[in-house]
Amino acid sequence: MSAKQPDANAPVASPSVKDDRFEEVLALIHGARQRAVQAVNTQLIDLYWQVGGYISRKLEQAEWGDSVVSQLATHLAKTQPGLRGFTRRNLFRMRQFYETYRGDEKVSALLSQLPWTHNLIIFIQSKLPQEREFYLRMAIQEKWSSRELERQFKTSLFERSIATPAKTSAVLKEQYPKAMGVFRDAYMVEFLGLPKGHAEADLQGSLMDRLKEFLIELGRDFCFVGSQYPLQVGGRDFALDLLFFHRGLNCLVAIELKVGRFEPEYLGKLDFYLEALDRNERKPHENPAIGVLLCASKDDEVVEYALNRSLSPALIAEYQTRLPDKALLQAKLHEFYALGPVSDDGA
């Protein structure tokens, strides 16, 4: 009797097919891999710290000159051919790394939580201790790639966050004390490539096309819910420009887009949308919705007057299509620090 031939039309099992029976095992594997990567990174940062400290002490005690560091790099290259990252330039960077953070226990505890590339970007490009700590904490919190971290320096995130804090209503500050660390006075959307005379439809369409980049700009805890989100009130249909959910604040975040200057009457419409969201969309375990008016420009005094009597948790921010004037922001930052020390929650 001949062996039965396989049916050519029978389904073939694929190794990529999900099988719920093995999900827990896969989770254990992924978790172990992540811990292994973190452990290697921790050891590497610690090694660079120790090497940097050793070189620093030798130079400070005049036991070595700069030429000895060059000789060390040459020696390591000859005797350890598989060893990478110990060039003369990198050895001096390790020294700078050590000298930048030594004695600062609060910040040095953060260093091993980031890859060496991230640490290099931060301590080389930062000019102030507060700036270094700001970017260390933000890079850890937001899990930025090195490219995303470079972009935050280009957009002057530190200067913008400290010198120009978000303009919010008193209700938002009272209901959400952590909101000042979540929202910004201006959002950079230079990645959209918008022309000068763009319409709201152009802005909204471009944001949807580049949603990943926009979510990075908003922050890690923002989750996209919908665009032109439908709201029905009194038999009439309305559409909210953008709707997000913020995991940390546990609430919906409504964003209304305006391609012109902020006008006080815009706030009334946003209040209406927030009321509709709270009555018809908010889950029992969620906090009241927050509203954001994202405008092309705003007069800060007009914004202050408009928000002063607002009973809604709302804020007014700008979207900027071009990188900010870094010199101007640094001047504002200098004025800010000249007024007095920064509180612990200021950065």
Q: Mind listing the pLDDT tens digit for each residue in 142-168? A: 999 999 999 999 999 999 999 889 999
pLDDT cut 90: percent of the chain above it: 74
pLDDT reported for residue 335? 80
Q: 320: part of which helix (H) or strand (E)? A: strand 314-320
Asked if residues 171 and 288 have their Cβ atoms less than 8 Å apart, the reply is no
On average, the pLDDT of the chain sits at 90
Per-residue pLDDT at 343: 47
pLDDT tens-digit profile of 91-146?
Answer: 999 999 999 999 888 898 899 999 999 999 999 999 999 999 999 999 999 999 99
> What confidence category does residue 224 fall into, taking pLDDT thresholds of 50, 70 and 90?
very high
pLDDT at 242: 98
Q: How far apart are CA 266 and CA 113, in angstroms?
A: 43
pLDDT at 82 over 90: no
In this model, does residue 277 exceed pLDDT 90?
A: yes
Please check whether residue 290 is in contact with residue 252, taking contact to mean a CB–CB distance below 8 angstroms. yes
Residue listed under structure tokens 């950065």: 347
Which pLDDT value is given to residue 253?
Answer: 98
Question: What is the value of pTM for the model shown?
Answer: 0.83
Q: Residue 31: its pLDDT value, please?
A: 83
pLDDT of residue 138: 96
Q: Kindly report each contact of residues 108-113 with a partner whose C-beta sits within 8 Å and lies 24 or more positions away, as own/partner.
A: 110/136, 110/137, 110/140, 111/45, 111/49, 111/136, 112/41, 112/42, 112/45, 112/46, 113/140
- Give the rounded percent of residues in the chain with a pLDDT score beyond 70: 92
Contact (Cβ atoms closer than 8 angstroms) between residue 113 and residue 135: no
- pLDDT confidence tier of residue 338, bands split at 50, 70 and 90: confident
Instruction: Give the pLDDT score at 18.
Output: 66
Q: Output DSSP code: residue 4.
A: P
100, two tokens = 């930048």
